[in-house]
Amino acid sequence: MTHYRKHVFFCINARAEDCESCARSGSVEAHAHAKKRLQEIRQHGPGMVRINKAGCLDRCTEGPVLVVYPEGTWYRYLDTSDIDEIIDEHILAGRPVARLMV
């Protein structure tokens, strides 16, 4: 049995100003939004979902990126509405969101 039903990692890495990075594309805010939403519906914690920060996930030019385990599904998002769709569809309902996959 896994400790978390879903484990989600957001790259929040910030590189130098002349480099692309997830933090320069809103990943810090997206991570906070996802964690708050899951806490509000009491789905964040052991046996449920864990939203974690990560350093560079080495997909910088495709970012901002997150990855959902245990599936290992990678997503690129543009705003919090994309985050909400990933939470509602993939994380809670078990239906991966093909249009946001990388």
Could you tell me the two tokens for 33? 């939004």
Q: Binder to ligand FES among 9, 37, 51, 63 (CB under 6 A)?
A: 63
- Polymer length of the chain: 102
Site membership for ligand FES, residue 22 (CB under 6 A) = yes
Site membership for ligand FES, residue 30 (CB under 6 A) = no
Site membership for ligand FES, residue 65 (CB under 6 A) = yes
Residue number, 5 or 74, with CB nearest to ligand FES: 74
Could you tell me the two tokens for 25? 């594309």
Site membership for ligand FES, residue 13 (CB under 6 A) = yes
For residues 70 and 84, give the distance between their C-alpha atoms in angstroms, rounded to a whole number: 19
Lookup result for tokens 């920060």: 53
Q: Binder to ligand FES among 6, 8, 9, 21 (CB under 6 A)?
A: 21
What is the three-class DSSP state of 8? strand
How many residues form the binding site for ligand FES (CB under 6 A)? 12
Could you tell me the two tokens for 76? 């690129």
Which residues bind to ligand FES, rule: CB under 6 A? 11, 13, 15, 21-22, 56-60, 63, 65
